[in-house]
Amino acid sequence: MGGYGDVQMIDENGLRMDGRKPEDCRPIQIETGVIPVADGSARVIWGKNEVIAAVYGPMEAHPRKIQRQDRAVLDVRYNMAPFSTSDRIRPGFNRRSREISKVTAEALESVVLLELYPRSKIRVEIEIICAEAGTRCAGITAASVALAHAGIPMTDLVVSVASGKVNDVVVCDLNKEEDNYGEADLPMGILPNTGELVFLQMDGDLSQEEFKTAWDYNMEAAAKIHEEMARALKGGEA
Ligand code: CDP
């Protein structure tokens, strides 16, 4: 993919516009219990991204036509607040938010023990308060912490992060300029305990070697992000 190769995003010292080295992830901070009326909730502040996830349920699934006799359904809604970016986001569902809600639900369905709750529904609301690229990853990460905080049985958490390529350099955890003007984007959803993948989307072109580097950067970042998720779930203790 052509991208905007003339936009210089790596300086002469090999550093990115926000001062990070190619392999660095943006700082991340996670807190649970931020929506006291929800059964589980989490706030993720990741670079300039801010995401809140709230979980309600398991509850009886309504209307009955959405019920599954053998398992619960995950009802996931990803939404960007109108004020979350410089262009006001029109309230309501659009194609992008539907797509992100769907891939998020599929990633989370891989870890939640849905068969324990036949005919039920678990509602997962993801609200993007501030967006700086990688919001689908921040949303999946926040939702998996909120599900664990709600006490929903899961085989693992899901950590999601997107590496990519800018100015022919593979970089970890793209920020907004890198996402907009870069040449490739590789968001992945990773199970931290096994290294299995439950979600992968790729935009743009990467050579086999670049793909391997982006993959490794995502895996390394996921291990660090998982530490912060675990810390938040233990009530903030290190
Ligand atoms: O957020 P994510 O990288 O998962 O998804 P994207 O569709 O690649 O969007 C990248 C970024 O573009 C978002 O995080 C927002 O900062 C911005 N964006 C926007 O300003 N307006 C939109 N309607 C959609 C995205």
Mean pLDDT of 30-52: 98
Helix axes 208-233, 135-149, angle to 10 degrees: 30
Structure tokens at 68: 């599954």
Answer for the pair 102, 124: CB distance below 8 angstroms, yes or no.
Answer: no
The CATH number of 28-233, from 3.90.420.10, 3.40.50.2000, 3.30.230.70, 3.30.1780.10, is 3.30.230.70
Give dist(CA 98, CA 104) in Å, integer.
10
Atom of ligand 1 nearest to the CA of 49: 14
Any atom of ligand 1 within 6 Å of the Cβ of 204: no
131: CA distance to ligand 1 center in Å? 7
The pLDDT, as a whole number, for residue 2 is 47
Any atom of ligand 1 within 6 Å of the Cβ of 89: yes
Give dist(CA 30, CA 66) in Å, integer.
33
Going by pLDDT thresholds of 50, 70 and 90, the confidence category of residue 238 is low
Residue whose tokens read 């190619």: 22
Mean pLDDT of 38-46: 98
Mutate to test the pocket of ligand 1, among 89, 102, 177, 179 (most ligand atoms within 8 A of CB): 179
202-215 per-position pLDDT tens digit: 999 999 999 999 99
Any atom of ligand 1 within 6 Å of the Cβ of 149: no
Closest CA relative to residue 7, chosen from 176, 133, 162 = 176
Give dist(CA 179, CA 9) in Å, integer.
11
Percent of the chain with pLDDT strictly greater than 70: 97
The pLDDT, as a whole number, for residue 161 is 98
**Has residue 166 got a pLDDT over 60?**
yes
69: CA distance to ligand 1 center in Å? 37
Q: Say which DSSP state 88 is in.
A: P
Annotated domain spans of the chain: 28-233
Going by CA atoms, what residue is nearest to atom 19 of ligand 1?
85
Atom of ligand 1 nearest to the CA of 133: 14
**Has residue 1 got a pLDDT over 60?**
no
178-190 per-position pLDDT tens digit: 999 999 999 999 9
**Has residue 7 got a pLDDT over 90?**
no
Any atom of ligand 1 within 6 Å of the Cβ of 103: no
**Has residue 236 got a pLDDT over 90?**
no
Contacts of 73 (CB under 8 A, 6+ apart): 61, 66, 67, 114, 120, 121, 122
Mean pLDDT of 99-111: 98
133: CA distance to ligand 1 center in Å? 5
Sign of the dihedral defined by the CA atoms of residues 191, 195, 199, 205, in that order = positive
Radius of gyration of the chain (CA): 18
Any atom of ligand 1 within 6 Å of the Cβ of 134: yes
**Has residue 200 got a pLDDT over 70?**
yes
Mean pLDDT of 34-45: 98
Answer for the pair 63, 122: CB distance below 8 angstroms, yes or no.
Answer: no
204: CA distance to ligand 1 center in Å? 16
Percent of the chain with pLDDT strictly greater than 90: 94
The pLDDT, as a whole number, for residue 235 is 83
